[in-house]
């Protein structure tokens, strides 16, 4: 009560000295308290988000983006065919329109060396620069972390919580261990939990559509199409023999 009275008195004094042409932000103690509560909730959300990102990065490294791809951007992606131009345009549009109430996922499908990781890293780096949280995880690395949880006598639930807390999760090398039931269960859990909470998932795979359906199941594949989820084919040869230090195009 004392604080309410003190705040109320301060507001009354401010009203007397504020010029008539200035509209005060708060006109009552109730408005002041409501603002404080809302700001407190926002700060708590920011702290929780930061803690989740820090835990994930501690486990997987800087956003899980490997050193080879940390300098990847849309500016240094090489386009030499109409198909590559389309993949580039779709990826850049995805990054630029990320959020805004949507939760569309994406699947990049193609042979090794065709630039799936480059464009996924370009999306990730763009979002990180905009203040979003991003995590790129290979399936073998994810399964290793899950096994470490079991070896330490822990549940994988805290790991799954961290995976489901970031703004964008990209699962790389999906299908490289196909046939492993444990992998399928974990991937299904992650995708289900993320999409149920309206958080998108990126999938990088060497498998075609039919093979990925067999690996993940029709239910998961159907969920990945929610909210306009996109499938992008990388149908061209490997570029890896030409890879050197990546420089931005001026």
pTM of the model: 0.72
Interatomic CA distance for residues 118 and 140, integer angstroms: 19
244: nearest Cα among 64, 63, 114, 71: 71
Residue range 183-194: mean pLDDT, rounded: 88
Question: What local confidence, expressed as pLDDT, does residue 160 receive?
Answer: 86
Question: What local confidence, expressed as pLDDT, does residue 95 receive?
Answer: 96
Structure tokens at 126: 């763009």
3-state secondary structure of 226: helix
Q: Could you tell me the pLDDT band of residue 99, with boundaries at 50, 70 and 90?
A: confident
Q: Report pLDDT digits (tens) over 6-18.
A: 455 666 676 677 6
Q: Could you tell me the pLDDT band of residue 179, with boundaries at 50, 70 and 90?
A: low
Q: Could you give the strand order of the β-sheet that contains 134-138, starting from the edge strand earlier in sequence? A: 134-138, 168-174, 201-205, 106-110, 230-234
Interatomic CA distance for residues 160 and 103, integer angstroms: 19
Question: What local confidence, expressed as pLDDT, does residue 56 receive?
Answer: 52
Q: Report pLDDT digits (tens) over 156-167.
A: 787 888 888 889
Interatomic CA distance for residues 90 and 232, integer angstroms: 8
Structure tokens at 232: 């992008």
Structure tokens at 222: 């159907």
Question: What local confidence, expressed as pLDDT, does residue 149 receive?
Answer: 80
Please give the DSSP secondary-structure letter assigned to residue 240: G
Q: Report pLDDT digits (tens) over 46-68.
A: 666 666 556 555 544 555 576 76
150 pLDDT more than 50: yes
Spell out where the chain has E strands.
Answer: 106-110, 134-138, 168-174, 201-205, 230-234
H or E element that contains 195: helix 181-196
From the CA atom positions of the chain, what is the Rg in Å?
23
- Report phi then psi at 104, rounded to 5: -65, 140
Mean pLDDT of the chain: 81
């Amino acid at each position: 009560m004392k604080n309410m009275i003190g705040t109320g008195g301060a507001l009354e004094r401010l009203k007397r000295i504020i010029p008539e042409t200035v509209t005060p932000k708060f006109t009552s103690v109730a408005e002041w308290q409501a603002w404080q509560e809302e700001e407190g909730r926002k700060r708590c959300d920011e702290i929780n988000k930061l803690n989740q990102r820090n835990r994930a990065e501690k486990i997987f490294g800087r956003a899980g983006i490997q050193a080879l791809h940390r300098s990847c951007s849309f500016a240094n992606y090489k386009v030499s065919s109409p198909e590559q131009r389309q993949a580039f345009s779709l990826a850049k549009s995805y990054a630029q329109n990320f959020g805004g109430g949507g939760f569309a996922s994406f699947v990049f499908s193609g042979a090794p060396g065709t630039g799936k990781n480059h464009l996924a890293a370009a999306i990730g780096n763009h979002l990180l620069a905009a203040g979003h949280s991003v995590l790129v995880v290979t399936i073998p690395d994810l399964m290793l972390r899950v096994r470490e949880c079991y070896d330490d006598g822990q549940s994988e639930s805290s790991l799954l919580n961290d995976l489901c807390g970031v703004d964008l999760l990209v699962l790389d090398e999906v299908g490289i261990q196909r046939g492993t039931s444990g992998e399928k269960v974990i991937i299904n859990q992650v995708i289900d939990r993320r999409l149920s909470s309206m958080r998108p998932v990126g999938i990088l795979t060497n498998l075609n559509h039919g093979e990925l359906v067999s690996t993940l199941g029709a239910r998961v594949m159907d969920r990945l199409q929610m909210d306009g989820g996109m499938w992008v084919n990388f149908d061209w040869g490997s570029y890896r023999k030409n890879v050197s230090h990546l420089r931005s195009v001026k």
